[in-house]
Amino acid sequence: MTTGIVYDDIYLLHRIGNHVESHHRLIGIMDFLKEKKLLDNPDFKLITPRKATLDQIRYVHEDSLIKEVKEVSELAEKTGHIQSLDLDTSVSAKTYEASLYSVGGNLQAADEILNGNLTNAFAAVRPPGHHSNSYKCAGFCIFNNIAITAEYLFREKGIKRIAIVDFDAHAGNGTSDIFYNGSKSGGELVMFDSHQDGRTLYPGTGFIGEIGTKKGEGKIINYPMPPRAADDVIMIFFDEIISPMLYEFRPEFILISAGFDTHWTDQLTGMGWTYQAPANYLKKIKTIAEEFAQGRILITLEGGYEIDKQARAVYNCLKVLNNDDDLIEENPIESGKDVLNYINDKLIPALKDKLKPYWNCF
């Protein structure tokens, strides 16, 4: 089996000064993979991204958003200064170009998974995407990589059922916004979005009552975790909610928005995960992909701001994708009793109650 790693130096050219979403994040990942000699292993293949077309970006974004990113990038080039799209989303001269390749890297990987060159893939791309909705870039994000990839699979590749799993510490509000009424192309999509409770973290959304409307009703699943929730809490989400739902939904492709800012040391968030937690979660998700989707998983990078911890977490995910259990582990962390009681006695039953009208499994 072959696991693809999408990377290109173009992603370093979205260079936005001292911003926490820095090009050093990707350098850290690639350096660590080299140090571990992962790129010398024939089971892994480096994938060169292509540029997404404007028609593909338009699958989810309005023309006004695309035009704004292009023009602000041109302004950055002309003035030689970093520009801003909003309070936390910065743009350099090459941001527009890098963003087209960020989407295109995901599309290239999706193609190679579908044509059998790859079993699965990890797209080490930036800028990230999950906070951008159809009309607004936000939260360090430019084009919504994962949403465009989902639409690409529906519209150009004939895929009919996609599951998106977003495990960034922040709610994937851009992605859930885009699919809140269901996919416009007629594909079936379900999204599982775990994150730190919006009462305690940006963007302040992603509560269990936000379940989608119209064709999307019952298909957006939010799992707001209290601060300091550790590895055990995400496994409960999988066992109680994701697994039964995906056995019913039978996804043909699984797309993952992977943010590594759930690590207990992350400077922007207050979660309590170890750096092996994402890989252990992925192991479970992979069982579903193997059952229904011929193993097809594409992971795209979102956040993660402790560079060395993120590099280890990504390495672990790559090992799991490639069926290798030999992970780098730190001391296990368990959630506090109050956190576990809240999850088991309140959050999970309340979430099942919300979903019951739409899913036979509850």
315: nearest Cα among 76, 107, 5, 69 = 5
Cα(170)–Cα(33) distance, rounded to whole angstroms? 26
Looking at the Cβ atoms of 28 and 259, the one nearer to Zn ion is: 259
Looking at the Cβ atoms of 182 and 259, the one nearer to Zn ion is: 259
Question: In angstroms, what is the minimal distance from the CB of 91 to Zn ion?
Answer: 19
Q: CA-based Rg of the chain, rounded to a whole angstrom?
A: 19
Looking at the Cβ atoms of 164 and 169, the one nearer to Zn ion is: 169
Per CB under 5 A, the segment of 75-83, 142-150, 206-214, 300-308 that binds Zn ion is 300-308
Looking at the Cβ atoms of 278 and 303, the one nearer to Zn ion is: 303
131 counts as binding Zn ion under rule CB under 5 A: no
**195 an active-site residue?**
no
4 counts as binding Zn ion under rule CB under 5 A: no
Per CB under 5 A, the segment of 96-104, 147-155, 160-168, 337-345 that binds Zn ion is 160-168
Active-site residue among 14, 23, 61, 131?
Answer: 131
259 counts as binding Zn ion under rule CB under 5 A: yes
Per CB under 5 A, the segment of 146-154, 261-269, 276-284, 341-349 that binds Zn ion is 261-269
224 counts as binding Zn ion under rule CB under 5 A: no
Question: In angstroms, what is the minimal distance from the CB of 130 to Zn ion?
Answer: 8
Per CB under 5 A, the segment of 31-39, 252-260, 323-331, 340-348 that binds Zn ion is 252-260
| Number of shown-chain residues binding Zn ion (CB under 5 A) | 6
170 counts as binding Zn ion under rule CB under 5 A: yes
| Selected binder of Zn ion within 240, 261, 266, 306 (CB under 5 A) | 261
Q: Is 109 exposed, middle or buried (0-12, 13-18, 19+ CB in 10 A)?
A: buried
Distance of CA 152 to the CA centre of its chain: 16
252 counts as binding Zn ion under rule CB under 5 A: no
174 counts as binding Zn ion under rule CB under 5 A: no
303 counts as binding Zn ion under rule CB under 5 A: yes
263 counts as binding Zn ion under rule CB under 5 A: no
Overall residue count recorded for the chain in this entry: 362
DSSP 355: H
Looking at the Cβ atoms of 20 and 327, the one nearer to Zn ion is: 20
168 counts as binding Zn ion under rule CB under 5 A: yes
Which parts of the chain fold into alpha helices (H)? 24-35, 54-57, 63-79, 95-114, 145-157, 173-178, 231-237, 243-249, 277-292, 307-321, 337-341, 348-355
* Inter-residue contact 295 to 251 (CB < 8 Å): no
Cα–Cα distance list, 127 to 89, 132, 176, 208, 282 (Å): 10, 11, 18, 28, 23
Who's near 111: CB < 8 A, 6+ residues apart? none
Question: In angstroms, what is the minimal distance from the CB of 21 to Zn ion?
Answer: 9
Question: In angstroms, what is the minimal distance from the CB of 313 to Zn ion?
Answer: 13
Question: In angstroms, what is the minimal distance from the CB of 28 to Zn ion?
Answer: 16
Question: In angstroms, what is the minimal distance from the CB of 25 to Zn ion?
Answer: 12
C-beta nearest to Zn ion: residue? 303
Secondary structure of 127-150 in the HEC alphabet? CCCCCCCCCCCCCCCCCCHHHHHH
Who's near 300: CB < 8 A, 6+ residues apart? 106, 123, 125, 128, 129, 145, 146, 149, 255, 256, 257, 258
121: nearest Cα among 287, 241, 286 = 286
DSSP notation for 51-113: PPPHHHHTTTS-HHHHHHHHHHHHHHHHHSS-EEEETTEEE-TTHHHHHHHHHHHHHHHHHHH
Per CB under 5 A, the segment of 30-38, 271-279, 303-311, 350-358 that binds Zn ion is 303-311
List residues with catalytic annotation. 131
The site for Zn ion (CB under 5 A) is made up of: 168-170, 259, 261, 303
